[in-house]
Each structure stands twice: as C-alpha cells, then as structure tokens.
Structure 1
C-alpha cells in the first residue's frame, strides 16, 4: 500500500493581501515563502466552499501575481473576506516503508512520483483526492481534470491535512484498479 500526505501548514486570509486603499502596494504575509509548494484557495463565502488548487515552484511569486491583479482592479480588502489560502507540501512512502520521501519538486518536469512502481502526477493526485474528499462545491484547476486511475497492485491512501480546528484532515483510499473521476 502506498501512502501520500498533503500537509497544508499555513492558512492566510486573502484579505490580508490587499491594502486599506486600493492601488497602494502592501507586503505579502511571511507565510508566502520563496519556496515551492502546493496550495488551496478556499472561498467560504459560498455554502459549497469553492476551491482553486495547484502547485507552484515559488509560492511568493504565485501569489504576488494574483495580488497585483487585485491592486489593478481596485478591490477593497472586504472583497476577499472569508477566502483563505492554505499552503503546504507533500510526502509519500511505499508499502509501509519507515521513511517518508518528500515531493521531488513542484514544477514540470518534477511532478512525477513512483507509488508501488507506478508513476503518478502529484498535482493530479492532489486535485482528484480533494475533489473526492469534498464532493460539494467546485475544485478547479484547468490542467488536471482527467480521471486518475490506480494502476498499481496495492491501494493508495491519500491524507490531506490542514491547520485549523478539528476535523482538519480528509482521507481518501484508491483501491487497486480504482479511479477518482
């Protein structure tokens, strides 16, 4: 059995990205590091809790670009109330191995991980597992929408955990020959 953990260790309210007066620059919170990682943007303004998720080779750059668009459009901080960015990393291990392996990278061509001898795209697995764990609302990412199949000989257990009050973990098992559509 393969195990995959997506650990979202920082939660940032996106209204902190915007200045009190539209069009005036402000610094990104320190949690947006100049490092690779994965993210979920969660919009809690909608009862369905819509999400956008993906990976980046530099989280600070990824969100600085989004921040710039918000400045240019003149959004006030209130527009982003109840919208959060959860940032983190991924690790995995095969067949009950004692040690975890960190993701090989968060940019093409380093998205592939080997689980029980089969290759999987870590971003595709992240998106499809989240879509299965939270079936209400939308999860969007324009590039990784296809079915994910477990082509290996063992189940794949995926855990997604995040900072915040319990329950703060979702688990998804992909059985042998199973798929996440």
Structure 2
C-alpha cells in the first residue's frame, strides 16, 4: 500500500465518520450526550464548513499541486476526535477527557496552518492559539447567553487553553 493510498483511505474514513457523527447529533439533538451543549448547530456550521477547508483551498489555488492528503487528514482528525468524544460520551464520563482534544486539536491545527499557508512556526502557533481562545470564548459566551453547559468553570477553560498551548508546542516541535 502506498503512502498516498493510505492517506486517501484515511481521509475518506474520517469524512465518513464525521458525516455519521453529524447525522447522529442532528437526528438526536435531545440525547443526553448532546442536550444543552448546542452541539448540532456548532457541528453543522463549524465542522461542516471547516472540514472542507483543504478541498476549497486546493480548488481555488492557481498553481495546481498534489492534494495535501496527510495535512487534510491531520486537520480532519481534530474534528473527528471532538465529535467522537461527544458521540461516545467521553466528555461526560471522564472529567478531564477534554484536555486530549484541546491538546491534539490545537497542535494539529498549528501544523495544518503552517503547511497550508506557508506560515512560520511562530505565526502558526499564534494563529492556532488565537482560534482556540476564540473557541473557548464562544463556549463561555454560549453558556452565559443561551444557558448551555459546555464550560465547567474557570479552571476548565484555563486547562483547555493550557493544553492547547502545550499541544502547539509539541506538534510544531515534532514537525521540525
């Protein structure tokens, strides 16, 4: 099996899983795993849109290069892990499970940003953590304004942000 074949197979597998997770939350929004977290709307808008980032970038680039399958796989893995955590009830069963997706997601996004946009490591580090901080702010604001329950307390957001900083440092260091 070639590396490209493996990357394409993984990409298709991740996309099928993500679609299944999305169908699950849209058809069962009142399931206890999803209720009160605004997951159906968030997954439809954020995951549905951002999972198509690399196909869109590839389509609109003037210079045709080979499709960045492995980078897209890394990018998709952050959505897959988050959605799997909800679907398999890992966030509610294990208090600190969310540190894993925050570490991986922020680290994976930093590497993907670096590769996709030709960013420096510093730019990718800052962009990824800025996006992560915006996501944390969105979760907190949704809790305050709409009564959802995504954030357990200040320590939850602080831990998530710290995990993200650590993830970007580890992943960008490993990318060298």
What TM-score comes out, normalization by structure 2 length? 0.31
More helix by share: 2
| Higher CA-based Rg | 1
Q: What TM-score, normalized to structure 1?
A: 0.30
Higher strand share: 1
